[in-house]
Structures are given as structure tokens and as C-alpha cells.
A and B are shown apart, each in its own frame.
Chain A
Amino acid sequence: MKSFARSGVLGLVCAFIAAPAYAADVSTGPCGFCVLWDWIPFILNGFALNVVISILAMMLALVLGIGLGLMQISESKLASVPARFVTQLLRNAPWIVILFMIMSLIPYRIEVQGWGNFILSDWIKATFAFSLPVMANVSEILRGAVASVPKGQWESAESLAFSRGQSLRWIILPQCVKQMIPHLMNWFALLVLATPLASIIGVREAVGSAQAAMESAGSSPTLLIPFYFFLMMIFFIFIYPVAIWSRRLERNYAINS
């Protein structure tokens, strides 16, 4: 498995080096790789925003999603019915629609009394927009994980005088963590991959920056393959270690059971 991953990375790197040369041969134009080299700092600068957006959105999605998930499994219909509705609505909406809605719903400037004005720049709105579908999925992952814990666990907790909240806190949720990790990781990867959508609303993240760079370098077709390959590489390099880390985390939680 490991050697396969390594050879995969090697293959990608080879393709990345070979591709510009190939592209330069078939069509006349500037050497794509040379142009890319000059623009790498600019693209990486944009990529920093992808990283920041995805990490902030994930943290927000985790906090809100766990809250929403707990509301979903609440015994009170007043909490569970709206939570289920919000979860299903946001799980089943295209992210770009959510993004456009948030863009138009949230004002550019917010006044908080006694605190002054806050400017909500586009990337902050995008962060919030991306966190919503992930939040809904975290909520559903939590509900599913809790439902998958055998009924006997609730019963034995109950017969040991645990209240419902105590059972959740000490018995049920700790058993859910392990099985939630791979799903959460999966949604984090999807979130990172969705961040270039923010370029549509003018956020200068990596893909938008690369496109701007190609345009200012003359929009030669020889630029396409090196630039897009570079984008693939940086997304891969960011996400893949997270996948490995999550597998390790999973193993740590796997102690028996």
C-alpha cells in the first residue's frame, strides 16, 4: 500500500516535469514550465487562502454540526424536527447555490453595538457558506454513529443510573468517535476540493490566481497543462497527509472493540 502510494507520487512528479516539455513541442509558444516557475509564489499565496478557508470552515462545521446532530437525536420534537429539516436541506443542496445565497444574504458590513463595524470580506462569507453543507453532513454522521451503537449500551448505562445526557457524554459518544473519523476526513477532503468555487465570487484562491496568472502571461495554450498540474499537485500534497493522519488516528481509537 505504502510503496504503491510512493510510486504514485513519483509518477505524478515525472508527468509534471515531462508535461511542459511535451506541450512546448506540439504547439508553439513560451515554455509553460518557465512561466509557471515565476508565478508559483503568486499561486501558493492564493493557495494559502484555500487552506485557511477549508480549516476555518471545517472547525465551524464540526462545532455547528455536532450541535445540530445532538439536536437531531434529542427526545424533544421541538429540537429534533427543525434540526432534521436543516440537516436534510443543506445536505442536499449544491454547494454553489449555498455560496450564492450566503453572498447575497449576508451584508458586506455588520454593525455590532458597542463593538463597532465589521467588514465581512468575500472569503469570510465563502468560509461560512462552505461550512454549512459540511455542518449538515457532520450532523448526519453523528446521528448515524449514535444510532449504530447497540441498544444494550444505552440499557446498561440507564440501569446504572446514568441520565440520558450522561449516557451520551460518557458511554455513547466516545464509542462514536472512531467510526466518525474517516467520514469527517472524507468531508474535509471534499471541502478542500470545493474551495476553488470561491473564485467564482472573486476570492483570489489558488485556482483563481492561476487563471489570472495565465491570462497575464498571454493565455497561451502551452500554459494550461503545467499550471493545472501544479494545482493538482498542491491540493494532493495538502490533502493526502491528512488522509494518512486520519488513518493513524483511527487506529489509536481502535484499541479493542
Chain B
Amino acid sequence: MQSIPDNSAVSLAASPSMVTVSIRDLHLSYGKLEVIKGVSLDIRRGEVVCIIGPSGSGKSTLIRCINGLTPFQSGSITVGDQQVGDAKLDKIRLRRKVGIVFQQYNLFPHKTALQNVMMAPLKVLKEPRAEVERRARELLAKVRLAGKEDSFPGELSGGQQQRVAIARSLAMRPEIMLFDEVTAALDPETVQEVLLTIRELAEDGMTCVLVTHEMAFAREVADHVYFTDGGKIVEHGPPEEIFGSPQDERTQRFLSRLL
């Protein structure tokens, strides 16, 4: 079971509105396989949180729980004023608040880049087309894809597709963005362009939660780093501490293998 350090408990009490995601004692298993064994963490507004750890440590499952894609057995997740585990949860409202980008992009192959970005605001939020299109073009320009509006996903590189996926998620104007190993399927050359997009997003003040294997990027961009292993948070803290002087032996071993 993970204990929340004192300083965060203090800040939590001092300004609860700053905490936008709060996870308490989360447990999740697939049949007999326990994937998450009691995880607690807080994410504050505007913060960039990176979750690192070996494969199979439950990182991806953890962030998929935050927007209700993966149901969990016990514990609680609070996002803003919503309880994710609530049976009567308004999922539509939760997902407008929390965007997610996947490792495999999952763009809609039958729609152009622009249509991919416009789809949800048009069909789900039922916003006026002209306004949606203006914003979609802005977003594509923001992720450096101006000129690719009419390309189909199949005509774009992996890095370009992933940036369309980011723009598509941003089109819902989320308060929090989740990134699930978004560079893991990319060529080394295109990883940087996607990381640049995420960095700019973080600099704009977007609350970001990243599951990543890009340690250099995590160290540079994160406000707080969580190291998970075996379904638990082993250690967490500012990046300088986790990467500079890891306390737990498992963290040390994991990081030394990568460096």
C-alpha cells in the first residue's frame, strides 16, 4: 500500500482545488492475475507526471483507469468532482475532461486528418461546423501538420499520425491529457517530433500524465516521476531525485539497465 508523503498531504489540505486527479489504494486484477496492487497518487493542475517502470508493471492499465476505459475492483479515483468507480458515472463528461493518446494512434482510417480532429466535437458535442473546423485547423497547425489536413492516416508517417491523434484529443478541450507509451511504436527519427509536441503542450500548462520509456524526456519535462514495479509504486519524487539518487534498489536496477 502506498503512503502519500507529508508535504503533498499538506498541499492537498491547503488547496484541494489544485488536485485534479486523486487515486487511493487502487486494486485491479484480470481474473487471478493482480495487475495493480494498491496504488495511490495525486496529480495537480498543470503538473506533468511521468510513470516509468518495467513492462508489465501496470503503468498503462493505471492510466487507462483514470478515464474509465479499464474498470477496477477496489479503491477510488477522483477526477475533478467525479468518482470514476461510481456506477452512475457520467462517462461522457469524464471523457470530455480527460483525453488519452494511445501507443497505436488508433486514428479513424476512413477519415482525413482534419475529419479525425473534427469528428468528436461535431458528433458528440454537436458544435457548429464552421467553429469546429476553424479550431481543428488551428490544432493541426499547432502540432505542425498544417498542409496535411486532407491526408488520410494511411498516407501519414507514424509520427504524423500520432500528432493527429494528439490534436484529435485536444479538440475536445480536455483538462488532462493521458499519454500511453505514445512513442513506443515510432521510428527513432519521429519520436522527437512527438515529444516536442508534448513538451509544448506541457509548457502551455496542460496537465499531462505520461507512461513512457523515454527516460531523458521524462527527466527533462516531468514535475513528478513515479516508478512502478509489480503493480505498486516503488518510489516517487521530483525527476532529479528519482533519476539522480534513486533510493529503492529496484529503481536503481531498472535505471542502471537503461543507462
Binding site for B on A (CB under 8 A): 150, 152-153, 155-163, 166, 170-171, 174-175, 255-257
Pick out which of these stretches binds chain A: B118-126, B140-148, B213-221. B118-126
Contact A159 B69 (CB under 8 A): yes
Contacts of B106 in A (CB 8 A): 150, 152-153, 155-156
Determine the main DSSP class of A at the interface with B: helix
Contact B152 A256 (CB under 8 A): yes
Contacts of B120 in A (CB 8 A): 160-162
Taking a contact as CB atoms under 8 Å apart, the answer to whether B154 and A256 are in contact is: yes
A161 engages B154 (CB within 8 Å): no
- The 6 A-B pairs at the shortest CB distance, nearest first, are namely A256-B154, A256-B152, A257-B109, A156-B106, A152-B106, A160-B120
Does B163 lie at the interface of the complex (its beta carbon under 8 Å from any beta carbon of A)?
no
Closest A residue to B124 by beta carbon equals: A161
Known contacts being A161-B172, A162-B124, A174-B110, is A156 close to B152, with CB within 8 Å? no
Kindly list chain B residues whose C-beta atoms are within 8 Å of the C-beta of A174: 110
Q: Chain B residues with Cβ under 8 A from A256's Cβ?
A: 109-110, 152-155
Q: A160 and B172: CB pair below 8 A?
A: yes
Q: Give Cα distance in the complex from A36 to B30, angstroms.
A: 72
Most buried by B among A156, A157, A166, A255: A156
Show the binding face of B for A, using Cβ within 8 Å.
67, 69, 91-92, 95-96, 99-100, 102, 104, 106-110, 119-120, 123-125, 152-155, 165, 168-169, 172
Q: Are A163 and B99 CB-contacts (below 8 A) given A170-B119, A174-B110, A256-B152?
A: no
B102 contacts A152, C-beta separation under 8 Å:
yes
Subset of 6 A-B contacts with CB under 8 Å:
A159-B100, A162-B120, A166-B123, A175-B109, A257-B109, A257-B110
Our pick among B104, B155, B169 for the contact of A160 (Cβ within 8 Å) is B169
Which A-chain residue is minimally distant from B156 (CB atoms)? Answer: A256
Chain A residues, CB < 8 A from B91: 161
Contact residue among B92, B102, B154 (Cβ-Cβ distance under 8 Å from A257): B154
A170 touches B123 (CB 8 A): yes
Q: Please, how many angstroms separate the alpha-carbon atoms of A161 and B123 in the complex?
A: 10
| Bound CA–CA A256/B109 (angstroms) | 7
Looking at the assembled complex, report how far the CB atom of B184 sits from the nearest CB atom of chain A, in whole angstroms. Answer: 14
Known: A153-B106, A256-B152. 18 other contacts (CB 8 A): A152-B102, A156-B102, A158-B95, A159-B67, A159-B95, A159-B169, A160-B168, A160-B169, A161-B120, A161-B172, A162-B120, A166-B124, A171-B108, A174-B110, A175-B110, A256-B153, A256-B154, A257-B109
Which residue of the partner chain A has the closest CB to B97?
A161
Contacts of A175 in B (CB 8 A): 108-110
Bound-state CA distance A103–B214 (Å) is 70
Chain A contacts for B92, CB-based, 8 A? 161, 163
The answer for the CA separation of A170 and B155 in the assembled complex, in Å, is 21
Q: Measured between C-beta atoms, what is the minimum distance from A179 to chain B in Å?
A: 12
Tell me, in angstroms, the Cα distance from A78 to B241 when the chains sit together.
56
Residues of A within 8 A of B104 (CB): 152
Chain B residues within 8 Å of A158, by CB: 69, 95
Q: Which interface residue of B67, B102, B120, B168 has the most chain A CB atoms within 10 A?
A: B120
B96 and A161 contact, CB distance less than 8 A = yes
Residues in B neighbouring A171, C-beta threshold 8 A:
108, 119
Closest to A162 in B: B124
> A153 contacts which of B69, B108, B155 (Cβ < 8 Å)?
B108
State the CA gap A170–B110 with chains docked (Å): 10
